[in-house]
């Protein structure tokens, strides 16, 4: 597992730095402070951008990526599907355990800016499922892409999903913080067996319609 982390150290280092910085912010501020600050700096462009960017962490998007990966390389598609599903299951259990109210409930008496076309949920705020799914998705994609520079891009996309959840008033900063935490931890632990089990290194696991040469 240490080798897996070392090979993809760019993503993990960015994630660790972000966890430390945001963790300090959470300690020094109130739970709702960042949500209110971000809401006060809304714009038409940001409304449009985050309304669609948040779909990068949606289950539908993850499912499409899993399906595409099955045709690129079977091992990628199987591992992404299993890891994403199991990670989402654990995150869902945590949500059911805490059942924290969403910003729409906490701020219901305040005049805030809401993005048109967004259905606001009321329960199960902690942790953010979209954020967890995004960090798991983009972490694994960073494993699959040989060009290590893409780790910066994948980490940035995951962060955009996290910010979108707060901007859209679907979650608090603490929700997306732990979503990112669980997404990377679950993603790493659940993917690791696929990286070391010999069966997934065999020729059949490399099959893909777009990978005719069966390269590892």
pLDDT tens profile 14-68: 999 999 999 999 999 999 999 999 999 999 999 999 999 999 999 999 999 999 9
Tokens for 184?
């990377």
Instruction: Check pLDDT > 70 for residue 11.
Output: yes
Q: Compute φ and ψ for 142, nearest 5 degrees.
A: -65, -25
**DSSP type of residue 30:** -
pLDDT classification of 185: cutoffs 50, 70, 90? very high
Tokens for 35?
């949500």
Instruction: Check pLDDT > 70 for residue 95.
Output: yes
pTM of the model: 0.92
Residues 94-111, mean pLDDT to the nearest whole number: 94
Radius of gyration of the chain from its Cα atoms, rounded to whole angstroms: 18
Burial of 138 (0-12, 13-18, 19+ CB in 10 A): buried
Pick from 84, 185, 155, 88: nearest CA to 128: 88
Q: How is the chain split into domains, by residue range?
A: 1-22+50-108+136-216
**DSSP type of residue 146:** S
């Amino acid at each position: 597992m240490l080798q897996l982390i070392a090979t993809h150290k760019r993503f993990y280092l960015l994630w660790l730095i972000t966890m430390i910085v945001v963790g300090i912010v959470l300690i020094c501020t109130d739970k709702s402070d960042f949500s209110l600050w971000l809401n006060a700096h809304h714009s038409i462009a940001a409304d449009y951008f985050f309304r669609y960017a948040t779909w990068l962490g949606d289950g539908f998007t993850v499912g499409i990526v899993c399906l595409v990966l099955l045709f690129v390389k079977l091992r990628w598609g199987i591992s992404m599907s299993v890891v994403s599903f199991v990670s989402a299951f654990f995150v869902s259990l945590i949500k059911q355990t805490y059942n924290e109210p969403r910003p729409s409930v906490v701020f219901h008496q305040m005049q805030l800016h809401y993005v048109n076309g967004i259905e606001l949920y009321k329960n199960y705020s902690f942790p953010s499922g979209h954020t967890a799914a995004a960090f798991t998705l983009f972490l694994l994609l960073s494993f699959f892409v040989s060009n290590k520079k893409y780790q910066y891009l994948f980490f940035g996309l995951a962060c955009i999903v996290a910010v979108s959840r707060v901007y859209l008033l679907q979650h608090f900063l603490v929700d997306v913080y732990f979503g990112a935490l669980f997404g990377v931890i679950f993603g790493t632990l659940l993917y690791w067996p696929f990286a070391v089990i010999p069966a997934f290194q065999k020729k059949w696991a490399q099959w893909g319609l777009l990978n005719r040469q069966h390269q590892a």
